[in-house]
Amino acid sequence: MAWVLRQAVELYHMDREKWIALQKNCMSAEFGWGSSAQKYIEIYTRVTGKE
């Protein structure tokens, strides 16, 4: 984990454009319960064949 943090700090200092792109990419990801619940429902439906 320390290695990843060092890489992040290095990217922040050495390549600001890539850092900003990384920020935007991370901020656009969906981590809410709505999307998680939907994925669980899809898996359940596939596994059980029930809808």
Q: How many angstroms separate the most distant Cα atoms in the chain?
A: 52
Of 19, 3, 22, 20, the C-alpha closest to 11 is 19
Question: Does pTM surpass 0.85?
Answer: no
pLDDT the model gives residue 31: 84
Residue 51 above 80 pLDDT?
no
Query: How many domains does the chain divide into?
Result: 1
Cα dihedral across residues 5, 9, 15, 17: positive or negative: positive
Question: 8-42, pLDDT tens digit by residue?
Answer: 999 999 999 999 999 999 999 888 888 889 999 99
Q: How far apart are CA 18 and CA 20, in angstroms?
A: 5
Range of the domain at 41: 2-48
